[in-house]
């Protein structure tokens, strides 16, 4: 099952904050976050593993709530370079599940 991302799109002014959510109907063991700029390959941001941890990467952080089967990506004090489409990828449960299933993406536009 494809994870559901929200919102579908968001427009921010430089310096504003944003939250992107990713939820799944299946039990999650890991959540991967990527950013993709137009015409480019997805770039890895962070991976969160089962355990409800929170990770940070400069002004971008994420949390993983395995009980709620969801993850949130937090972008603080947004910069123009944050613009792009953000994807979460989830791994299902069970042995042999080697594939990542990506959501449809959240398009983030940061304007001056």
Partner 1 sequence: DAGVTQSPTHLIKTRGQQVTLRCSPISGHKSVSWYQQVLGQGPQFIFQYYEKEERGRGNFPDRFSARQFPNYSSELNVNALLLGDSALYLCASSLFGSVQETQYFGPGTRLLVL
Distance set, CA 67 to CA 2, 14, 25, 51, 100 (Å): 18, 34, 11, 10, 20
CB of 86 to partner 1, least distance (A): 10
Q: Which of 9, 68, 104, 111 binds partner 1 (CB under 8 A)?
A: 104
Q: Does 21 bind partner 1 (CB under 8 A)?
A: no
CB of 76 to partner 1, least distance (A): 23
Task: State which residue, 34 or 82, has the beta carbon closest to partner 1.
Answer: 34
Cross-strand partners of 37: none
Q: Residues 27-56: x/- map of binding to partner 1 (CB under 8 A)?
A: --xx-x-x-----xxxxx--x-x-------
- How many degrees, rounded to 5, is the angle at CA 98 between CA 94 and CA 104? 100
Whether omega before 106 lies within 30 degrees of 0, making that bond cis, reads no
């Amino acid at each position: 099952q494809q994870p559901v991302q929200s919102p579908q799109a968001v427009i921010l002014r430089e310096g504003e904050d944003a939250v992107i959510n990713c939820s799944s109907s299946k039990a999650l063991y890991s959540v991967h976050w990527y950013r993709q700029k137009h015409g480019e390959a997805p770039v890895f941001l962070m991976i969160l593993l089962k355990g409800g941890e929170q990770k940070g990467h400069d002004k971008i952080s994420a949390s993983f709530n395995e009980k709620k089967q969801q993850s949130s990506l937090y972008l603080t004090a947004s910069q123009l370079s944050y613009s792009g489409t953000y994807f979460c990828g989830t791994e299902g449960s069970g042995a042999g599940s080697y594939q990542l299933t990506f959501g449809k993406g959240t398009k983030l536009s940061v304007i001056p």
